[in-house]
Structure 1
Amino acid sequence: MDGNDIPQGKCPVMHGGNTEMGDSVTSWWPKTLNLDILSQHDTRTDPMSKGYDYREELKKLDVEALKADVLALLTDSKDWWPADYGHYGPMMVRVSWHAAGSYRLADGRGGAATGNQRFAPLNSWPDNSGTDKGRRLLWPIKKKYGNKISWADLIALVGTVAYESMGLKTFGFGFGREDIWHPEKDTYWGNEKQWLAPSDQRYDDVDKPATMENPLAAVQMGLIYVNPEGVNGVPDPQKTADQVRETFKRMAMNDEETAALTAGGHTVGKCHGNGSAEDLGPEPEGAGLEDQGLGWLNKRTRGIGRDQVVGGPEGAWTSNPIEFDDGYFRMLMDHEWELTKSPAGANQWKPVNIAEGDMPPDVEDPSIRTMPMMSDADMAMKVDPIYRSYLEKFRADPEYFRDTFARAWFKLTHRDLGPKDNYFGPDVPEEDLIWQDPVPHGPTGYDVEAVKAKIADSGLSVADMVATAWDSARTYRGSDKRGGANGARIRLAPQRSWEGNEPDRLYRVLAKLEPIAEETGASVADVIVLAGNVGVEQAAKAAGFDVKVPFTPGRGDATAEQTDAESFEPMEPLADGFRNWEKKKYVVSPEEMMLDRAQLLGLTAPEMTVLVGGMRAMGTNHGGNKHGVLTDREGALTNDFFVNLTDMDYSWHPAKDGTFEIRDRATGDTKWTATSADLVFGSNSILRAYSEVYAQDDNAEKFVNDFVSAWSKVMDNDRYDVKAAA
C-alpha cells in the first residue's frame, strides 16, 4: 500500500502503540534492569544554552529588587485566585513547604533543591493541591528575572519572604538550587496504585511507625507528611503523634524541630475544605489542554475565596492567620476540643467553647467570624507529652520559639542544598550548622608528588588503596549533596564501623595514611584520595599504560564535633555492586541496588560499566571475594572482565546462594564465579553493548582512560569548594 492507498477517514500515523502495547521495554519484560534512572537528568532535556552557568547568572541578580517584587505580589490579590485575607503569604509558605517537605533522609531524594514540584508526580499529589496556583502567581516574577533565578530558588525563597512579611525574623536564605527539566520518574515514592491508599501498605505493622518501608517517609501515597485526619483517616492524636515522630525523623527533624515547625507552620494560614471535593476537576497531569497545566479546577460552583476546596479540613488555626504570633499556642492550649466534620466531610477538631472575638475572620469579609479548627496532627502536639513540653516551652519564651522555628524553617528549605559552599547571596548566615556537614577547607601548598611517593612506599596493595578511597567517596549523594570523600568522615563514627567499609582493613590502611598526612601537611581526606589514585596508576602501569589520575588538593578533615553521627547512620551502604557486596539478601536485586548507588553518584550507564569492570580487575571486592574477578592478572587495570564475560568459550550456570559459575565449555571446569551484579553486564542488552565496546581488541587504552575519567568524577563529586571558586 502506498500513500494513495490509505483508506478514507484513516490517519496515516500509527495510534496506540505506546498505550496498547506498553510504553517501555520494561512493560513487556518487567524483569529487565531499567537503566532509565541513570539518564534521569540527561542534558538533552535541558533547554538552556550550552555554557549556561547558573552561579554566574546569580551574580547578576538584584536580590533586593527580587524580594521587593515578591513582597508586592503577596498583597496583590488576583480575581482568578483571590488571596485569603488579602494576603498570599500563607499560600506561598505552603508552596515552599511542600517543595521542601518531600525530602527524605534515607536516600536524600525529594526536597526543594531541583524545582521538581513543577513535574509529575509531585505536581499532582493530592497534598499539593493549590500549589499549582501559587506557582502560576509567581510566573510574572520568574519571567521578569529569567535566567538569573531558578524555579527551585524562587519556590524556596517565596516562603521565607512571606514569613518576613507576616512578622517573623527569618534565619537567612541561600540561593544556588538548579532546575531539572523533566520528571524524576524513577524516584521511588511507594508501590501503591492509587492516591491516599491505606498506609498499612507501607508498614509491616501500621501501629509501629518504625516498620515503614524505607526509603519512604510520608505515611501515604500523595501526602507530604501524615494524614491530617488521623492514621488512615481515623482520629487518634497519640497514634498520629507516633507517626509524626517517625515521619519527621525520616525527614531529618528532631522532636523540638518538629514541634516548632508544626506550631510555626500553623500559626499562619488556613485549611480549605468548604465545599465538596466532587466538584473538583482532575489534577494537573490529568487535566485537559484548556486548563493549561492547572489542576483541581472547580467548574461547577464558585470554588474560590471562602468556597475554596484544596483539602478536606476547613478553617484557620489562629485568630489572625496572616500574623506570626503566639496565637497557635493560645488557641490549642487554652481550649478543649471535640471531633467534628468539615463541609468536605473530613474529620477535624473544633473548640468546645470559644468567644466570638477569638475566632478567625472570614477570608473575604473581616466582619464575619468563623470557627477555628485543629487537625489530628495538631491535637497530637497537645496530647503527646514530649511535643506538649516543647509547646509549653515555646509559649513561655516567645523569642526562643521564634528563633527555633526560624532555624528549623531554614533547615527545612536548605537541608538538600548540600554544604555551605553551594550557598549564594547576601542573606547566607555566617554560622556553620551541623546538619550542613561542615568541612574546613584543607591545605593546598604541600608537595603532591612527595605524598604520592610516600604512599607508594607504604606497602599498601592496589586493592587496599583503591577500596579505601572508593569507600570514602561512595557515600556521596547527588540527591542532597551529602557524603563524599571531602572531610574524611570514613575515619569517624559511624562510618569507621560500617560493615561495608571493612573496619579491620580500614584501620590498617588509615594507620599507614594518617602519618603520611601529618608528615607532609596534607589532609587525611586528600591522602585517602591520593592513595586511590596511586593504586589506579599502579594498576594501569601493570596493564601496560602510563596514566596520571587528575587531582586537586584542598579537601579538609571534619571533626567529630562537626559530624552529626545520627544523621549519617541512614547513609550506611547496605550493598555495593562496585565492590560486589551486599550486607544480606534483599528483595531488591544486587544489580538494582548498584543502579541506585550509581545514580546517587551521578554516573551514566557507561561510567557505571567501566568502573565495575576496572574495580573487578583490580581485585577490590569486599573482603577479597573473587566473584566477578574474571582475570588471571588481578591487580592490573585490564579490560579482562569484559573480554572474558563476552567470550563464548565459556558458559554460565546458576550455583548456590544466588551466585553463578563460569565454566570452560571445552573442559567443563569452573574458571570463575560471579554474582548477578556481574552477569547483568552480559545479559542486559544495553549494558552488554557497553561491555562489548570495552572488550574490543582496540579499546584496551580507551577502557583505562574512561575508567580514570569516571574514577575522578566520583572522587571529586563533593568538591563544591572548587566549583564555587571557579
Structure 2
Amino acid sequence: MDFNSGDINKCPFFNGANATNHDSVTEWWPKSLNLDILSQHDSKTNPLGEDFDYKKEFAKLDLDAVKQDLRELMTDSQDWWPADWGSYAGMFVRTAWHLAGTYRKADGRGGSNTGNQRFAPLNSWPDNVNTDKGRRLLWPIKKKYGNKISWGDLIVLAGTVAYEVAGLKTFGFGGGRQEIWHPEKDIYWGSEKEWLAPTGSEGTRYSGDRDLENPLAAVMMGLIYVNPEGVDGQPDPLKTAADIRVTFERMAMNDEETVALTAGGHTLGKCHGNGKADFLGGDPELAEFEHQGLGWHNSEGTGNRGNTMVSGIEGAWTTDPTKWDNGFFDLLLNFDWELKKSPAGAWQYEPVNMPEHKKPFDAHDPSIRRNPIMTDADMAMKMDPIYREISERFYNDFEYFSETFARAWFKLTHRDLGPKSRYLGSDVPTEDLIWQDPIPTVDYTLSENEVEELKSKILNSGLSRIDLINTAWDSARTFRGSDFRGGANGARIRLEPMKNWEGNEPARLEKVLSKLTEIQSGLSKKVSIADLIVLGGSAALEQSIKEAGYDVKVPFSAGRGDATQEQTDIESFEDLEPVHDGFRNWIKKDYAVNGEELLLDRAQLMGLTAPEMVVLIGGMRVLGTNHGGTKHGVFTDKEGILTNDFFVNLTDMRYSWKPTGKNLYEIVDRKSGETKWTATRVDLVFGSNSILRSYAEVYAQDDNQEKFVKDFVKAWTKVMNADRYDLN
C-alpha cells in the first residue's frame, strides 16, 4: 500500500476527505439544484440542544457586570496583541462594525444577528483582517458568562462600550442575537472568484454605468463597504463618494447617517500598514496549526505593535484617537491633504504643513508624533458637495454630531435584530424608531366560541375561500428571517406601499379588506384586521380540509396589532416587495435565475425547511391559489379541496412532460396524447429533482394522505405565526 502521506487526496483511509476534493453534488453536476440553503441552520450542529432558550439565559445575565469587565479589558493591553495607545477601543469598534456592516436591506442578510464573523468566508475576508484578534481578546469574557451572552451580542456590546469609555453618550444596547454553529456558506456575496477583484474582471458585480448588482452592497468581494484607497484602488474622492452613497443606501443609511458613521468610526483607533503586506501569512482558514486558529500571521519584526498590518494604510485620523471628540472634522476640514504612499504601498492622504501639536502620538512610543491620515473615503466627506455640507454642520455642532452618530451606530448594530419586542436587556431604548417597524400592541383575548363566531361571519361574508387564503398568505409571506421584517402582524398589506404591489393583486385585495373592515366595524369587541386576515385564511382552509374528508383544525392565536401608515416607512418597505412567489406560481418578469432557484431563496428567507416547502407547494396548487387564477400546476379535478393530488399526478408515469416555452410545459397523457394540465418549472422540479421528488413521493403515497393534510396545516401555521415573537 504505497502512497504519499503528504497528499491526503491519495490517502485510502481518509478517502481524500478535504476541501479540494470533488465531493459535492453541485461540483460534479453544476446544474443540480442546491438545497443546502434550506438546511443552513440545521439544529443538529447546535451543541446547546433544541431545548436551549437564549432569552431565558440572557435574563440571568448581569449586564452591568459584563460592561464593567469590558471597560477593564479596554485598557488591559495583552503581550500577544498590544493595544494602540494602551486602548482597545479602536479594535472593538472595528470588530463590531465589520460584524454589523455586512447587513444589506434588499434581502436582510448579513449583519450582526448570527455572529457569523466567526466562520468562513467572513472570518477570512481581506477587509476583516485581524478582527480575529478582537474576538480572541473577548474570549475570556465570553468564557466567563458562557451561554448567557452570544458572540453577536458580546461583539456589539464591546463596540458600544468602547464608545462609552471614549466619552460618547451612546443610544443604548439590545441583546437577542442568536448563535449559529457553522458557516452561512449559501449567502450570495458576489460571483467573483478572487478577493478584491477589480471592476473589469470576470464575474464583476457591476454592469452598465457602474450599476451594482442586487442584493449586494459592498463594492468588491471581501470588502465591507468601499475600497479605502479609491475605486479599484485608484484615488478619486468624488468617484468614491458615488460608491459610498450606493453602498450605505443599500445598508439602509441616508447621507447624514453615512457621514456620521464615517466620521464617528474614524474618530477612534487607527489604520495599520507599517510594513510589507507580503510578510502576512494566510487568513484564519489557511493558517498553520501553531497560530492557534488566528490568521494573517506577520513574520516581520514583532508582528504587531509597530509592525501591525491590516489595510496597508498607516496612521490615525485624529489628534487623540482614544477620545470621542470632533477631531476628525477639525483635521479634515481645516487642513490641506496630499496623496502619499504608506510604508506598505497603499494610497493615503497626509496633511500639508500641519503643526506638531495637531498630530497624534505614535501608538506605542509617546515620544514621537506621527502624521494623521485620511482615506479616499474620508476625503469624499470633504469633496462631495452634499457630504461636505453635512460635515460642516457636524463640525459646527458637536452635540448634534454626537447624537446623530449614537443613533446611527445603534441602527447599524441593531438593524437586523428585528422589531423592538425582540430586544433583550435593561439598556434597550424606550423610543420607538421607524426602522424597527413598530406595531401597536393589543389588549384583547378571544375565547374558542368567539373565534368560531368570527370564522362563521367571515365565511358567510361572500368572500371566496381563495380570496381569504390568498390574502392571508400574501400578508404573511413577506416575513424575512434574515432581519425579522415583514409578516402578517401589523396588517401592513392594507397600507402603502404593500396594498399596491402587483404580487398582492390589488383589486382582489381591496375587495377582501373592505369586507373584513365591514365585519370589524360590527363587532362588539374590536379585533384587529391583522387577526381577521389570518383567521379568514384559517377558516377557509378548514373548509377545504373538511371537504377532503378530514377533521383537522387550523391553530389560531389572536394578538396581532394593526400598524398605522405613520408607523410605516414606505421607502424601507419597498425592499420587501415580492417579485416572485413560487408558492403562488408567479414571477413578475423574466429573470436570469430560474424560478425554482428563486423559490429556494424565498423559502429560506421565510424560515422553511425543504419538506415544509414541498408540502406547502402541493397544497397551494390544489387549493387553486395561483396568482391571477392561472391553472399551471393545478394537477387535480377537485380544485379547492386539500388533497394530495398534486403529488399523485406529478409522480404518475402515465403522463409525459412536454416543454412549450422557456418556463412552461404541457402534461400529456401518454396513451391518448391529450394535454391534461400545464405546468411551470417550479411545479415540475418537485418531480425531476431527486431530493424534492423523494419528499413528493412521501406525500403521493396512499397511506400518507392524512399526513399530507396535517403537515400542510403545520407548515401553514408556521408561516402565519413567523413574526409572532410573543409565541415563538
* Counterpart residue identity of residue 573, structure 1: P
Correspondent of 2:646 among 641, 656, 661: 641
Partner of 1:229: 229
Shift of 1:656: 2.2
Structure 2 CA distance, aligned partners of 1:608 and 1:618?
A: 15
Aligned length: 716
Indicate how the Cα distance of structure 1 residues 117 and 647 shifts in structure 2: closer, same or farther if over 3 A, else same: same
* Counterpart residue identity of residue 245, structure 1: R
Partner of 1:58: 58
Partner of 1:292: 292
Structure 2 CA distance, aligned partners of 1:206 and 1:118?
A: 35
Shift of 1:449: 1.9
Segment of structure 1 superposing worse, 625-634 or 284-293? 284-293
Structure 2 CA distance, aligned partners of 1:338 and 1:309?
A: 22
Partner of 1:149: 149
Structure 2 CA distance, aligned partners of 1:536 and 1:252?
A: 38
Do structure 1's residue 607 and structure 2's residue 607 form an aligned pair?
A: no
Shift of 1:366: 1.6
After superposition, the C-alpha distances for 1:114-166 in whole angstroms (9 at most, x for unaligned) are 01000000000000001000000000000000111111110111000000000
Q: How does 1:317-328 map to 2 (within 5 A)?
A: 317-328=317-328
Shift of 1:367: 2.0
Indicate how the Cα distance of structure 1 residues 353 and 154 shifts in structure 2: closer, same or farther if over 3 A, else same: same
Indicate how the Cα distance of structure 1 residues 640 and 350 shifts in structure 2: closer, same or farther if over 3 A, else same: same
Question: Which consecutive segments of 4 or more residues in structure 1 shift more than 3 A?
Answer: 6-12, 17-21, 199-208
Correspondent of 1:625 among 630, 640, 644: 630
Structure 2 CA distance, aligned partners of 1:700 and 1:15?
A: 42
Q: How does 1:365-514 map to 2 (within 5 A)?
A: 365-446=365-446, 447-514=450-517
Correspondent of 2:719 among 706, 714, 717: 714
- Decide whether the 8 Å contact of 1:651 with 1:662 is kept in 2: yes
Q: How does 1:61-210 map to 2 (within 5 A)?
A: 61-200=61-200, 201-205=203-207, 207-208=209-210
For structure 2, the 5+ residue unaligned runs are 6-10
For structure 1, the 5+ residue unaligned runs are 1-5
- Decide whether the 8 Å contact of 2:43 with 2:50 is kept in 1: no
Task: Tell me the SS of whatever aligns to 1:517.
Answer: helix
Indicate how the Cα distance of structure 1 residues 226 and 122 shifts in structure 2: closer, same or farther if over 3 A, else same: same
Structure 2 CA distance, aligned partners of 1:261 and 1:204?
A: 25
Q: How does 1:528-539 map to 2 (within 5 A)?
A: 528-539=533-544
Indicate how the Cα distance of structure 1 residues 207 and 358 shifts in structure 2: closer, same or farther if over 3 A, else same: farther
Partner of 2:546: 541
Q: How does 1:206-221 map to 2 (within 5 A)?
A: 207-208=209-210, 211-221=211-221
* Counterpart residue identity of residue 234, structure 1: Q
Shift of 1:546: 1.7
Task: Tell me the SS of whatever aligns to 2:727.
Answer: helix
- Decide whether the 8 Å contact of 2:687 with 2:696 is kept in 1: yes
Task: Tell me the SS of whatever aligns to 1:285.
Answer: coil
Indicate how the Cα distance of structure 1 residues 327 and 19 shifts in structure 2: closer, same or farther if over 3 A, else same: closer
- TM-score, normalised to structure 1, is 0.97
Task: Tell me the SS of whatever aligns to 2:350.
Answer: strand
Structure 2 CA distance, aligned partners of 1:20 and 1:404?
A: 48
Structure 2 CA distance, aligned partners of 1:286 and 1:18?
A: 13
Query: What percentage of residue pairs aligned between the two structures are identical?
Result: 66
Partner of 1:3: none
Shift of 1:15: 3.1
Partner of 2:531: 526
Task: Tell me the SS of whatever aligns to 1:32.
Answer: coil
Structure 1 CA distance, aligned partners of 2:590 and 2:331?
A: 51
- Decide whether the 8 Å contact of 1:443 with 1:522 is kept in 2: no
* Counterpart residue identity of residue 547, structure 1: V
Partner of 1:277: 277
* Counterpart residue identity of residue 465, structure 1: L
Shift of 1:383: 0.8
* Counterpart residue identity of residue 333, structure 1: L
Task: Tell me the SS of whatever aligns to 1:662.
Answer: strand
Partner of 1:694: 699
- Decide whether the 8 Å contact of 1:628 with 1:678 is kept in 2: yes
Correspondent of 1:569 among 538, 550, 574: 574
Structure 2 CA distance, aligned partners of 1:605 and 1:60?
A: 35
Shift of 1:18: 5.8
Structure 1 CA distance, aligned partners of 2:127 and 2:4?
A: 44
Indicate how the Cα distance of structure 1 residues 102 and 471 shifts in structure 2: closer, same or farther if over 3 A, else same: same
- Decide whether the 8 Å contact of 1:443 with 1:555 is kept in 2: no
Indicate how the Cα distance of structure 1 residues 204 and 219 shifts in structure 2: closer, same or farther if over 3 A, else same: closer
Structure 2 CA distance, aligned partners of 1:344 and 1:9?
A: 39
Task: Tell me the SS of whatever aligns to 1:284.
Answer: coil
- Decide whether the 8 Å contact of 2:267 with 2:321 is kept in 1: yes
Structure 1 CA distance, aligned partners of 2:599 and 2:48?
A: 31
Task: Tell me the SS of whatever aligns to 1:286.
Answer: coil
After superposition, the C-alpha distances for 1:199-225 in whole angstroms (9 at most, x for unaligned) are 3454544754xx210110000000000
Structure 1 CA distance, aligned partners of 2:67 and 2:469?
A: 48
Shift of 1:518: 2.9
Indicate how the Cα distance of structure 1 residues 14 and 57 shifts in structure 2: closer, same or farther if over 3 A, else same: closer
Structure 1 CA distance, aligned partners of 2:627 and 2:161?
A: 50
- TM-score, normalised to structure 2, is 0.97
Shift of 1:408: 0.3
- Decide whether the 8 Å contact of 2:113 with 2:417 is kept in 1: yes
- Decide whether the 8 Å contact of 2:43 with 2:49 is kept in 1: no
Segment of structure 1 superposing worse, 369-378 or 196-205? 196-205
Segment of structure 1 superposing worse, 295-304 or 155-164? 295-304
* Counterpart residue identity of residue 510, structure 2: Y
Structure 1 CA distance, aligned partners of 2:21 and 2:503?
A: 42
Shift of 1:303: 2.1
* Counterpart residue identity of residue 167, structure 1: G
Indicate how the Cα distance of structure 1 residues 105 and 646 shifts in structure 2: closer, same or farther if over 3 A, else same: same
Partner of 2:621: 616
Structure 1 CA distance, aligned partners of 2:529 and 2:156?
A: 36
Segment of structure 1 superposing worse, 475-484 or 447-456? 447-456
Partner of 1:307: 307
CA RMSD of aligned residues (A): 1.4
Indicate how the Cα distance of structure 1 residues 453 and 142 shifts in structure 2: closer, same or farther if over 3 A, else same: same
Shift of 1:267: 1.0
Indicate how the Cα distance of structure 1 residues 344 and 459 shifts in structure 2: closer, same or farther if over 3 A, else same: same
Shift of 1:68: 0.5
* Counterpart residue identity of residue 65, structure 1: A
Task: Tell me the SS of whatever aligns to 1:199.
Answer: coil
Segment of structure 1 superposing worse, 116-125 or 288-297? 288-297
Indicate how the Cα distance of structure 1 residues 689 and 205 shifts in structure 2: closer, same or farther if over 3 A, else same: closer
Do structure 1's residue 597 and structure 2's residue 576 form an aligned pair?
A: no
Partner of 1:670: 675
Shift of 1:20: 6.4
Structure 1 CA distance, aligned partners of 2:4 and 2:482?
A: 50
* Counterpart residue identity of residue 321, structure 1: P
- Decide whether the 8 Å contact of 1:319 with 1:360 is kept in 2: yes
* Counterpart residue identity of residue 139, structure 1: W
Task: Tell me the SS of whatever aligns to 1:84.
Answer: coil
* Counterpart residue identity of residue 98, structure 1: H
After superposition, the C-alpha distances for 1:449-504 in whole angstroms (9 at most, x for unaligned) are 22211111112222111111111111100000011000011111111111111111
Shift of 1:517: 2.5
- Decide whether the 8 Å contact of 2:192 with 2:205 is kept in 1: no
Task: Tell me the SS of whatever aligns to 1:58.
Answer: helix
Structure 1 CA distance, aligned partners of 2:191 and 2:205?
A: 12
Structure 2 CA distance, aligned partners of 1:290 and 1:573?
A: 49
- Decide whether the 8 Å contact of 1:202 with 1:212 is kept in 2: no
* Counterpart residue identity of residue 74, structure 1: M
Indicate how the Cα distance of structure 1 residues 126 and 463 shifts in structure 2: closer, same or farther if over 3 A, else same: same
